[in-house]
A and B are shown apart, each in its own frame.
Chain A
Amino acid sequence: MKALATLLGLALALCAAAARAEPYLAIRAGLKCVACHVNPTGGGLRNAVGNSFTQNVIPANALPDSLQGWNGSLFDDRLRLGGDLRTATTRTSVPGQPTRSVGGTEQTRLYADVQLVKDYLGVHLDQQVAPGKSERQEAYVRLSTPGMGWYAKAGQFYLPFGWRLQDSLAFVRQLSGVSMTVPDKGLELGHESEDWSIQLVRSNGPGNKGPVTGHQTTAQAIWMQPWGRIGAAAAQVKSSAGDRQAWGLFAGTTTGPVAWLAEIDLVSDAGYPEGKRRQLASLLEANWLVQQGHNLKLTGEFLDPDRRVSNDHKVRYSLVYEYTPIAFVQLRAGSRKFGGIPQNAVDNRRQTFVELHAMF
Chain B
Amino acid sequence: MTRTRWLTGALGAVLLAVAGCGGGSGEGLDANGRPLGEGEDPGGPMTASFKSIQSHVFTPMCTACHAGAAAPRGLRLDASNSYALLVGVPSSGVPSLLRVAAGDANNSYLIHKLEGHQAVGARMPLGGPYLDAQSVNLIRQWINNGARP
Contacts and interface: CB of A to CB of B under 8 A. Distances in A.
B82 to A, nearest CB: 10
Given A177-B71, A209-B92, A255-B4, 5 more contacts: A207-B70, A207-B72, A211-B85, A255-B11, A340-B33
Interface string A226-260: 00000000000101011110100000010110101
Contacts of B30: 343
A273 B63 CA distance: 12
Contacts, number: 199
A242 B34 contact: no
B126 A274 contact: no
Nearest to A319: B19
B65 to A, nearest CB: 6
Interface stretch (B44-52, B100-108, B127-135, B138-146): B127-135
Chain B contact patch, size range: 35 or more
Nearest to A239: B69
B15 A309 contact: no
B76 A315 contact: no
Interface stretch (A8-16, A35-43, A130-138): A130-138
A332 interface: no
B69 A244 contact: yes
B53 interface: no
A123 to B, nearest CB: 24
A77 interface: no
Interface in A179-232: 181-182, 205-212, 214, 216
Nearest to B117: A132
Contacts of B121: 128, 131-133, 135
Interface string B104-125: 0000000000001111111100
Given A269-B68, A286-B11, A208 B74 contact: yes
A269 B66 CA distance: 13
B23 A314 contact: yes
A174 interface: yes
Contacts of A267: 68
Interface stretch (A26-34, A321-329, A345-353): A345-353
B64 A174 contact: yes
The 5 A-B pairs with the shortest beta carbon distances in the complex, nearest first, are A341-B26, A177-B70, A271-B69, A209-B74, A339-B23
Interface string B75-99: 1101111000100010011100000
A24 interface: no
A273 B92 CA distance: 23
A344 B32 contact: yes
Interface in A101-144: 102, 128, 131-133, 135
Given A131-B122, A132-B120, A309 B33 contact: yes
Contacts of A132: 117-122
A266 B22 CA distance: 21
B24 interface: yes
Given A132-B120, A315-B21, A256 B70 contact: no
Contacts of A311: 24-29
Nearest to B119: A133
A174 B80 CA distance: 21
Contact of A300 (B19, B78, B92): B19
Contacts of B116: 131
A330 to B, nearest CB: 19
A309 B34 contact: yes
A256 B26 contact: no
A336 to B, nearest CB: 10
A67 interface: no
B136 interface: no
A340 B117 CA distance: 30
Interface in A258-310: 258, 260, 267, 269-274, 277, 284, 286, 298, 300, 302, 305-306, 309-310
A102 B130 contact: yes
B45 to A, nearest CB: 13
Given A206-B72, A269-B68, A343 B31 contact: yes
A168 B126 contact: yes
A273 B72 contact: no
